[in-house]
Amino acid sequence: MNAMDLRRGITMAVDAVVTNLKSRARMISTSEEIAQVGTISANGEREIGELIAKAMEKVGKEGVITIHDGKTLYNELEVVEGMKLDRGYISPYFITNQKNQKCELEDPLILVHEKKISNLTAVVRVLELALKRQRPLLIVAEDVESEALATLILNKLRAGIKVCAIKAPGFGENRKANMQDLAVLTGGDLITEELGMDLEKVNLDMLGTCKKVTISKDDTVILDGAGDKKSIEERCEQIRSAIENSTSDYDKEKLQERLAKLSGGVAVLKIGGASEAEVGEKKDRVTDALNATKAAVEEGIVPGGGVALLYAAKELEKLSTANFDQKIGVQIIQNALKTPVHTIAANAGVEGAVVVGKLLEQDNTDLGYDAAKGEYVDMVKSGIIDPLKVIRTALVDAASVSSLMTTTEAIVVELPKEEKEAPGGMGGMGGMGGMDY
């Protein structure tokens, strides 16, 4: 068998299925539809689905939603004024929470500097201010490198100082404007050479602050900035005026992004529970549900329960291939597309092959098997739906890896460690003669 033709057949089939799924996807807009997606992704917990729907209603579908530990037994929604920057930490050495690979700073001092910071003396002054006040430090600059970066990392690792540095988002004038927005939001100053400001002469009044900053490798969320409300509103009005006067679509788009970041809030989902283990498990489910819901809003939904893939398998029968090996590749995908429905039915104690066969005879591509009720129902009307993006990504990624394996001659793997056998019982205690049971 020609491995390359087999791979071409798999790729051809996946492309056809993705096209079919996109043509059948439906965009969602109502809170009820959003809640349905969140509920299914949270293993059927309606409360989580409704919580996510409320959060999206508060901050908009493009808004920022974060997940934190709650302090009660119940889940709560809180909307906090904040800003999200699409830049993460410069170095992973700044991470404070190894579990989620994030740097979390409570009540930090925030330095916003327009230019690059590279020499040692440039960061010593601001580090001294943070140490004196016993507070974490966040540095936002065009870049932090060389001696300056090394100094921050050493202070984090050896002295235990909570510090983090991120690059300012944007480029050119847009970056400077973003930094000015951040300075206004946090109640600090933009340290710039144009105004004769020097890092070595920075004082506490020039630094901003906020309630909390969470930094991942990709983005930064600043919660509850300490900036003056009147100054923030004046800044928003300046941006609105610039939007009205702008003739460039690109400039308008960037201005609208800035306005959303400055005036929009951050929805905080506070997950409660009776124990740390329960809260951790619920947070994982909420995270999965939130990601699935965002995916559904972005690309739409398809009937759930595996039926979207099952009906797409019928379309592959019409696909023409160049040779037998490509046909085998298509058949591999066809068989794989039937597996989700087959498995769901089998797990519910029903013969999977019978359910698959009956559904393939139907013309209504929304019809599926509700394993919870043991009935054939309209999946969309019953609220059993899947985000297209989740289904599409799973199929494309699985096909990519499996087809790569067909053209791979060797794989480097790590051998599993041989575990030693558990020690036996105490010598001489093998049995106790003379005792009847």
Query: Residue 36: which residues within 8 A CB-CB, separation 6 or more?
Result: 49, 383, 385
Q: Hey, is 77 helix, strand or coil?
A: strand
Q: Where in the sequence of the chain do the CATH 3.30.260.10 domains occur?
A: 31-75+272-299
Angle between helices 307-315 and 324-347 (to 10 degrees): 150
For 3-26+302-405, the fitting CATH number among 1.10.287.3510, 1.10.560.10, 1.20.120.1200, 3.40.630.30 is 1.10.560.10
Helix, strand or coil, per DSSP, at residue 314: helix
**Contact (CB, 8 A) for 268 and 78:** yes
Residue 226 DSSP symbol: -
Look up the CATH architecture of domain 84-269. 3-Layer(bba) Sandwich (3.50)
Closest by CA to 316, choosing from 329, 305, 304, 307, is 329
Question: Which CATH superfamily, name and number, covers 31-75+272-299?
Answer: TCP-1-like chaperonin intermediate domain (3.30.260.10)
Per-residue pLDDT of the chain (437 residues; tens, 9 = 90+): 888 999 999 999 999 999 999 999 999 878 888 998 999 888 888 999 999 999 988 877 766 788 989 889 999 998 766 788 889 999 999 999 998 999 999 999 999 999 999 888 888 999 999 999 999 999 999 999 989 999 999 999 988 899 999 999 988 888 999 999 999 999 999 999 888 788 888 999 999 999 999 999 998 999 989 999 999 999 989 998 998 998 888 888 788 778 877 876 678 899 999 999 999 999 999 999 999 998 998 899 999 999 999 999 998 988 889 899 999 999 999 999 999 999 999 999 999 999 999 999 999 999 999 998 999 999 999 989 999 999 999 999 999 999 888 888 888 888 888 776 655 555 544 444 444 44
Q: Which residues touch 387 (CB under 8 Å, ≥6 apart)?
A: 37, 41, 292, 293, 295, 296, 299, 300, 301
> How many whole angstroms separate alpha carbon 127 and alpha carbon 50?
44
Question: 76-85 and 220-225: which strand pairing?
Answer: antiparallel
- Sign of dihedral through CA atoms 284, 289, 290, 291? positive
CATH 1.10.560.10: which residues of the chain?
3-26+302-405
pTM higher than 0.75? no
Q: What beta strand segments (E) does 282-429 contain?
A: 301-303, 367-370, 375-378, 385-387
**Are the C-beta atoms of 220 and 214 separated by less than 8 Å?**
yes
Detail the DSSP E strand segments found in 86-235: 103-106, 109-113, 116-117, 137-141, 143-144, 163-167, 190-191, 208-215, 220-225
CA-to-CA distance for 243 and 287, rounded, in angstroms?
Answer: 35
Q: Delimit the CATH 3.50.7.10 region(s) of the chain.
A: 84-269
| 3-state class (DSSP) for residue 153 | helix
Determine the pLDDT at residue 420: 67
Q: Are strands 143-144 and 116-117 parallel, antiparallel or unpaired?
A: parallel
